[in-house]
């Protein structure tokens, strides 16, 4: 099995603008194995499906130790790179974020999402505050000697209805992307963004590989690739599809 450093390097190299890596998010070792057999080049968890699979709501309600044990189990069953969703870092301060990042790396993750949403509070962290949080995570990764892929997520678009997405929001996202890059982020994640023109502008204006989530109202894979997207993830969609199938089968069995 390849070592963690090599897997991290392999994962980073998969992020190519115009030829996006596909991350069909898993939530446990079984789902990860299925996704791998389907042809995945890397594996990723999403906080919402992992929490739901263990009976918790999203928003860092799932105990971190349980999330870390889940990642260890996924990593132990695959040779593929595995990236973890650590939400907002399970803490407010840069020190707390660094501690969570260290634990994720020690559990075997070679990357993680780190969002700028204030969990349990209102709105987003100011860009300069999030800069310090990302910088602390990067320092923790460097201390471990692993070139971890920090996917810096902004919730600007996810917190607003698609029809309200504006040029001002896009400008804010671009400013944040540059700020997060300077802090040591490896990629920029803009979940909820669906407008083709805005996605194209974001990809042109941001040096970091851009990640878009494949929600139902988002352009298809070929279009996203043509716009310069480097990473397409599926978030909670696979889990919801599986549960819808389970629900239908259970209802048929009991009818």
pLDDT at 87: 98
Q: Is the pLDDT of residue 1 over 70?
A: no
pLDDT at 103: 98
> Considering Cα of 214, then 218, then 224, then 227, what sign does the dihedral take?
negative
Its domain, for residue 133, covers 4-254
224 and 212 Cβ atoms separated by less than 8 Å: yes
Per-residue pLDDT tens over the stretch 8-55: 999 999 999 999 999 999 999 999 999 999 999 999 999 999 999 999
Per-residue pLDDT tens over the stretch 241-255: 999 999 999 999 999
- Distance CA(214)–CA(203), nearest Å, equals 16
- Other C-beta atoms closer than 10 Å to the C-beta of 33 total 15
Average pLDDT, the chain: 97
Q: Is 63 helix (H, G, I), strand (E, B) or coil?
A: coil
Across residues 220-239, what is the average pLDDT?
98
Question: What are 57's two structure tokens?
Answer: 């709501």
pLDDT at 55: 97
> What residue has token string 């480097």?
230
Per-residue pLDDT tens over the stretch 185-202: 999 999 999 999 999 999
Per-residue pLDDT tens over the stretch 80-101: 999 999 999 999 999 999 999 9
Q: Is 213 helix (H, G, I), strand (E, B) or coil?
A: strand
Total count of domains within the chain? 1
Burial (Cβ within 10 Å: 0-12, 13-18, ≥19) of residue 11: buried
Report the chain's terminal Cα–Cα distance, integer Å: 48
pTM: 0.96
Minimal CA–CA distance to 127: which of 139, 137, 118, 116? Answer: 116
* Neighbouring C-alpha atoms within 13 Å toward the C-beta of 23: 33
pLDDT at 6: 97
Q: Is the pLDDT of residue 151 over 90?
A: yes
- Distance CA(92)–CA(95), nearest Å, equals 8
Across residues 57-71, what is the average pLDDT?
97
3-state helix, strand, coil in the chain (%, to 5): 50, 15, 40
Q: Is the pLDDT of residue 67 over 90?
A: yes
Task: Kindly report each contact of residues 29-36 with a partner whose C-beta sits within 8 Å and lies 24 or more positions away, as own/partner.
Answer: 29/70, 29/73, 29/74, 29/76, 29/77, 31/238, 31/239, 31/242, 32/74, 32/77, 32/78, 32/82, 33/77, 33/78, 35/238, 36/78, 36/80
Task: List 231's β-bridge partners, or say none.
Answer: 21, 211
Residues 6+ apart with CB under 8 A from 142: none
| Cα 146–chain centre separation | 18
Question: What are 129's two structure tokens?
Answer: 């505050």
pLDDT at 122: 83
Residue 161: CATH number of its domain:
3.20.20.60
């Amino acid at each position: 099995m390849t070592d963690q450093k090599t897997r991290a390097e392999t994962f980073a190299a998969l992020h190519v603008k115009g030829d996006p890596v596909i991350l069909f998010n898993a939530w446990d070792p079984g789902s990860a194995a299925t996704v791998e057999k389907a042809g995945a080049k890397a594996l990723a968890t999403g906080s919402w499906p992992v929490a739901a699979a263990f009976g918790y709501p999203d928003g860092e309600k799932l105990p971190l130790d349980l999330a870390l044990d889940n990642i260890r189990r996924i990593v132990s069953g695959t040779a593929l790179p595995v990236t973890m969703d650590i939400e907002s870092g399970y803490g407010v301060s840069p020190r707390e974020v660094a501690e969570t990042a260290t634990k994720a790396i020690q559990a075997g993750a070679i990357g993680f999402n780190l969002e700028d949403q204030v969990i349990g509070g209102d709105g987003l962290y100011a860009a300069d505050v999030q800069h310090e949080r990302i910088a602390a995570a990067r320092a923790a990764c460097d201390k471990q000697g692993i070139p971890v892929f920090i996917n810096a997520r902004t919730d600007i678009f996810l917190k607003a209805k698609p029809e309200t997405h504006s040029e001002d929001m896009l400008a804010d996202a671009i400013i944040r992307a540059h700020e997060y890059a300077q802090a040591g982020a490896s990629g920029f994640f803009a979940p909820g963004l669906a407008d083709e023109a805005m996605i194209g502008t974001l990809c042109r204006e941001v040096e970091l590989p851009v990640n878009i989530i494949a929600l139902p109202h988002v352009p298809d894979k070929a279009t996203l690739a043509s716009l310069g997207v480097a990473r397409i993830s599926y978030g909670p969609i696979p889990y919801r599809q599986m549960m819808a199938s389970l629900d239908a089968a259970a209802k048929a069995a009991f009818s």
